[in-house]
Copies of this chain bind each other. A is one copy, B any other.
Amino acid sequence: MDTKRKAIGIDFGGTTIKSAVVEDGRLIQHGDVIETTEHHGAPALIEEILGVIAALRITHPEVAALGVGLPGFIDSVNGIVHELTNVPGWDEVPLRRILQERTGLPTIIENDAKAMAYGEFKYGAAKGCRFVLCITLGTGVGGALVLDGRLYRGAQLAAGELGHASIDYRGTPGLYKNPGDLEMFVGNHRIAARASQLYKVAGRNVPVEECTPYDLEKAARNGDPVAKQMWENVGLELGCALVNMIWLLNPDAIVIGGGVAKAGDLLFGPIQRTIRERTLPLFNQNLRVVPAALGNEAGIIGNATLALEAAEVK
| Residues in A lying within 8 Å of B, measured CB to CB | 73, 129-131, 145, 147-148, 150, 152-162, 164-170, 176-179, 236-237, 240, 243-245, 247-252, 277-280, 282-283, 286-287
Complex CA gap A156/B253 in Å reads: 12
The closest CB in chain B to the CB of A133 belongs to: B248
Decide: A248 and B245 in contact? CB cutoff 8 A. Answer: yes
**A-B pairs, 7 with minimum CB distance:** A154-B250, A155-B252, A169-B240, A159-B250, A165-B244, A161-B247, A178-B278
The closest CB in chain B to the CB of A130 belongs to: B155
Which chain B residues lie closer than 8 Å to A252 at the CB level? 155
Which chain B residues lie closer than 8 Å to A160 at the CB level? 248, 250
Decide: A243 and B155 in contact? CB cutoff 8 A. Answer: no
Complex CA gap A131/B160 in Å reads: 14
The closest CB in chain B to the CB of A178 belongs to: B278
Select which of B131, B161, B166, B169 is within 8 A of A154 by beta carbon: B131
Decide: A282 and B156 in contact? CB cutoff 8 A. Answer: yes
Complex CA gap A154/B168 in Å reads: 26
Instruction: Offer 7 A-B interface pairs, CB within 8 angstroms, sorted by A.
Output: A145-B248, A145-B249, A164-B279, A166-B167, A167-B169, A176-B278, A176-B279
Decide: B278 and A161 in contact? CB cutoff 8 A. Answer: no
Decide: A247 and B165 in contact? CB cutoff 8 A. Answer: yes
Decide: B251 and A158 in contact? CB cutoff 8 A. Answer: no
Q: How many copies does the complex hold?
A: 2
- Assess A168 versus B168: contact at CB under 8 Å? Given A250-B154, A251-B154: yes
Complex CA gap A79/B221 in Å reads: 50
Decide: B169 and A170 in contact? CB cutoff 8 A. Answer: no
Which of A160, A178, A282: most chain B CB closer than 10 A? A178
Decide: B248 and A176 in contact? CB cutoff 8 A. Answer: no
Which chain B residues lie closer than 8 Å to A279 at the CB level? 164, 176, 178
Decide: A152 and B148 in contact? CB cutoff 8 A. Answer: yes
Instruction: Output the least CB separation between A73 and chain B (Å).
Output: 8
Complex CA gap A42/B147 in Å reads: 34
Select which of B155, B168, B287 is within 8 A of A169 by beta carbon: B168
Complex CA gap A169/B245 in Å reads: 13
Which chain B residues lie closer than 8 Å to A162 at the CB level? 247-248
Decide: B277 and A177 in contact? CB cutoff 8 A. Answer: yes
Which chain B residues lie closer than 8 Å to A131 at the CB level? 154-155
Complex CA gap A164/B247 in Å reads: 6
Which of A166, A243, A244, A252: most chain B CB closer than 10 A? A244
